[in-house]
Amino acid sequence: MLLNTEQAHPDHPQLDRYDTATLVDALAADQACAAEAVRAAGPALAQAVDAAAARLREGGRLVYAGAGTSGRLGLLDSVELHPTFSWPHERALALLAGGEGALYRAVEGAEDSREGGAADIAAAGVGALDVVLLLAASGGTPYALGAAEAARARGALTVGFANNPGAPLLAACEVGVLLDTGPEVISGSTRLKAGTAQKIALNTFSSAVMVKLHKVYGNLMVDVQASNAKLVKRALRLTMLASGADEAAASAALAASGSRVKLAIVMLKAGLGAEAAQARLEAAGGSIEAALRR
């Protein structure tokens, strides 16, 4: 049976005859289905977020595994966690079929190796506290299936993301997230809305997990890494918004806190020095709200 993602789109049989404006509109409009597919997967994503947060609180890692576009999207999500949420580099690992070389060009046969997926999981030392995200638009990529089987055998939480109903990857994982995007405007090109849905789903999943882990205060990104001029300004703005302090006071608190926004906020709102504020935050599990109640 032909997979949904491989079928010809019924609405665009003459795509190559469209004028440019119509062509662009058709390609852009079809992307809206990606967001709809992610919203439909909301219950599964919520289940995955709660299960993942519980393990990550105990020191587990996020491990992304996939091939081709799916693998590259996993890598993208993994590297964005540190500057956005101060998530440690060593606790966000991306496994890509074919290794680093596959970032830039296809490595023939790598995605077809079930053994390769299992070997990469073993080499990464995946364990029971880890959360392994398996990504495959088809849901049947051997590399992802091998990785899922090996990760689950090691006791890790496995979350599978696939774009076809009934995909083997969804059944192979503890939590299956179906992103049912249907046929592509360009038949079989899952870098289009299938890839967009995966990107949205990963954004949603990892951001929700970080909220659960107290990386956000209200809706402010308070664990940002101020690693460049833009982010230094952002850290100051966030500190002012969260604490109500003026620019001078916020700047002084950030300087005393080592540019740690969360710490500066607690210092300002609780009237504490850096050491006492840090102790409160640690006792509160990193939650600003809980630290301010102490």
Judgement on whether residues 170 and 257 belong to the same structural domain of the protein: no
Q: Sorting pLDDT into bands at 50, 70 and 90, what band is 251?
A: very high
Radius of gyration of the chain (CA): 22
Residue 21 has pLDDT above 90, yes or no: yes
β-strands 216-217, 220-221 pairing: antiparallel
Judgement on whether residues 167 and 227 belong to the same structural domain of the protein: no
Contact 178, 4 (CB under 8 A): no
CA distance 59 to 132: 14
Q: Sorting pLDDT into bands at 50, 70 and 90, what band is 104?
A: confident
Judgement on whether residues 141 and 286 belong to the same structural domain of the protein: no
Q: H-type helices in 95-244, by residue range?
A: 114-123, 142-153, 168-172, 193-212, 229-243
Tens-place pLDDT, residues 70-98 = 999 999 999 999 999 999 999 999 999 99
Burial (CB < 10 A; 0-12, 13-18, 19+), residue 23, is middle
User: Which of 212, 242, 266 corresponds to the end of one domain?
Assistant: 212
| Mean pLDDT confidence for 201-205 | 98
**Please, which residues bridge with residue 95 across strands?**
65
Per the structure, the count of domains in the chain is 2
**Percent share of the chain, pLDDT over 90:** 89
pLDDT the model gives residue 239: 96
CA distance 294 to 288: 10
Judgement on whether residues 69 and 191 belong to the same structural domain of the protein: yes
Judgement on whether residues 41 and 118 belong to the same structural domain of the protein: yes
Judgement on whether residues 12 and 148 belong to the same structural domain of the protein: yes
Q: Which residues contact 105 (CB under 8 A, 6 or more apart)?
A: none
Tens-place pLDDT, residues 111-166 = 989 999 999 999 999 999 999 999 999 999 999 999 999 999 999 999 999 999 99
| Mean pLDDT confidence for 19-41 | 97
Q: Pick the residue with more confidence: 96 or 225?
A: 96
User: Which of 194, 212, 230 corresponds to the end of one domain?
Assistant: 212
Token pair belonging to 64: 């992304």
pLDDT the model gives residue 108: 67
pLDDT the model gives residue 294: 75
**φ, ψ at 191 (rounded to 5°):** -75, -10
Which residue range forms the structural domain that includes residue 48? 4-212
Judgement on whether residues 247 and 274 belong to the same structural domain of the protein: yes
Catalytically active residues, by annotation: 80, 111
| Mean pLDDT confidence for 10-31 | 96
Distances (CA, A) of 99 to 66, 92, 115, 119, 135: 11, 16, 14, 12, 15
| Mean pLDDT confidence for 218-240 | 91
Which CATH number is 187's domain given? 3.40.50.10490
pLDDT the model gives residue 156: 98
Lowest mean pLDDT among 76-80, 108-112, 196-200, 237-241: 108-112
Q: What is the DSSP letter of 139?
A: S
Judgement on whether residues 265 and 125 belong to the same structural domain of the protein: no
Which CATH number is 240's domain given? 1.10.8.1080
Tens-place pLDDT, residues 163-188 = 999 999 999 999 999 999 999 999 98
Judgement on whether residues 207 and 220 belong to the same structural domain of the protein: no
pTM of the model: 0.93
| Mean pLDDT confidence for 215-236 | 91
Judgement on whether residues 176 and 69 belong to the same structural domain of the protein: yes
Q: What is the DSSP letter of 175?
A: E
pLDDT the model gives residue 225: 79
Judgement on whether residues 204 and 58 belong to the same structural domain of the protein: yes
Judgement on whether residues 112 and 162 belong to the same structural domain of the protein: yes
Residue 261 has pLDDT above 80, yes or no: yes
Token pair belonging to 108: 């023939």
Contact 131, 154 (CB under 8 A): no
Contact 64, 93 (CB under 8 A): yes
User: Which of 212, 231, 249 corresponds to the end of one domain?
Assistant: 212
